[in-house]
Structures are given as structure tokens and as C-alpha cells.
Amino acid sequence: MTNVELAERSGISAPPCLRRLRALEEDQIILGYHAEINAEALDYKITAFVHVKLSSNNDHDLRKFEETLMNLPQVRECFLLVGDFDFLLRVVAKSWDDYQKFLSSELTNIAHVAQIKSSLAVRRSKFAPGVPIEEITKK
């Protein structure tokens, strides 16, 4: 969307709209821009949510695990958790066989991985990136 279109939708003129946009970027409210990719159109048919428990929970080992994941393109998101598991990963794969290969040759070979529990997604029913802006603007 162009700045002019954004300004029109926001009900303000283009110059102040652009200033506000740049301020949101500088304040790191807006972290970046991306295109939503149709994973299935690129043959990524598997989405798995993977809970990972490590055998060590010291900060060094947690960070080392996170650093290792940065080099695994199948891992699209990683969350450090509080609870029974240490991490929740969103993993994509082109097939069930590719996913199993990823688990056995990549994920289980990372230092301190003690337990893995996978849940395969059947379909995505909702996708709403970011946070509910309406709630923020009401305050």
C-alpha cells in the first residue's frame, strides 16, 4: 500500500502520515514488512508445532539451542516457554518424510534435546499477524 493510500484510509494527509509511519518504525512499533506466502503453493504441505524439552536449563544452553535453530530454515518460529517444555517451534516441511528426516537428523541431534512432542496442523483457521490495533487505539 502506498503512503497516499494509507493516508486516505487513516483520514489524514500524506506528509503527516509518512512522519507517523517513520516514527512508528523508529520506535520499533513497526519491525518490518513482509509478504504472506502460500506455503502449499511452494509444496510445503506439513506444518508442525513441536514442543522441545532440554536436559539443561542454564542460560548458556538455552541460548545455544536458540542459536542452532537460526541455521535451520524449516524452523519458522521459536518461543521460549515456561512449563513442562522449554520451547515451542513452528516447523514446515514439504512432506511427512521430510519432516521425519528433519526430526531424526537435525532436531534430535542438537545438544541437550531430551524430549520432543509434535502436533501436526490439519488446517489454519485464523491468521491475524501483530496485535489487535483496535484495542490500542481505544486507550
pLDDT at 139 over 70: no
Q: What are phi and psi of 9, to 5 degrees?
A: -65, -30
Average pLDDT over residues 100-107: 97
DSSP string covering 95-109, please? SHHHHHHHHHHTGGG
pLDDT digits (tens, 9 = 90+) for 74-92: 999 999 999 999 999 999 9
Q: Residue 135: which pLDDT band, with cuts at 50, 70 and 90? A: low
Average pLDDT over residues 126-134: 84
pLDDT digits (tens, 9 = 90+) for 106-121: 999 999 999 999 999 9
Contact 118, 49 (CB under 8 A): yes
| 61 vs 28: CA distance, rounded Å | 29
**Domains plus CATH for the chain?**
3-33 (no CATH), 39-120 (3.30.70.920)
Query: Residue 133 has what pLDDT?
Result: 76
